[in-house]
């Protein structure tokens, strides 16, 4: 089972700043099948990115994903007030079980 470790646990930034979130896998993620989700408290996770860099339907282009192998990044180019939430990475490149990272909380500074 692939373990995903996200860093930092908490990121404090201001609106308009750039956010860089990291996700590291314990072994290479097959076909770079990695996704990112945003979760606002009290709501279900929302798919942002799949296949490392493909944006899901309706996701603004300020969200971008990159990486390969064991190191992946979610970048939010200019933070909007609604972007402050918890972000999870998830891998689906190996046989199930597909696993999630522990999350990074993006909070307003």
Contacts of 5 (CB under 8 A, 6+ apart): 23, 24, 25, 26, 101, 102
Strand, coil or helix: 98:
coil
Q: Is 92 in the site for other proteins (CB under 8 A)?
A: yes
Does position 56 interact with other proteins (CB under 8 A)? The reply is yes
Q: How far is the CB of 102 from other proteins (least distance, A)?
A: 5
Give the distance, in angstroms, between the CA of residue 14 and the centroid of all CA atoms in the same chain: 19
CA atoms within 13 A of residue 9's CA, in its CB half-sphere: 0
Q: Which is nearer to other proteins, 14 or 95 (CB)?
A: 95
- Whether residue 7 is preceded by a cis peptide bond, meaning omega within 30 degrees of 0, is no
Of 13, 22, 24, 50, the one binding other proteins (CB under 8 A) is 50
In the list 11, 19, 25, 35, the residue contacting other proteins (rule: CB under 8 A) is: 35
Q: Which of 22, 32, 33, 53 binds other proteins (CB under 8 A)?
A: 33
Binding footprint of other proteins on the chain (CB under 8 A): 33, 35, 37, 43-47, 50, 56-57, 88, 90, 92, 96-103
């Amino acid at each position: 089972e692939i373990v995903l470790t996200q860093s930092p646990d908490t990121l404090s930034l201001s609106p308009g700043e750039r956010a860089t979130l990291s996700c590291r896998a314990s072994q290479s993620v097959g076909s770079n099948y990695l996704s990112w989700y945003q979760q606002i408290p009290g709501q279900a996770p929302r798919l942002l990115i799949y296949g490392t860099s493909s944006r899901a339907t309706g996701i603004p282009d300020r969200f971008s994903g990159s990486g390969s192998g064991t190191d992946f990044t979610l970048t939010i180019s200019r933070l909007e007030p609604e972007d402050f939430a918890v972000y999870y990475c998830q891998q689906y490149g190996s046989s199930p079980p597909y696993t999630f990272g522990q999350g990074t909380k993006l909070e307003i500074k």
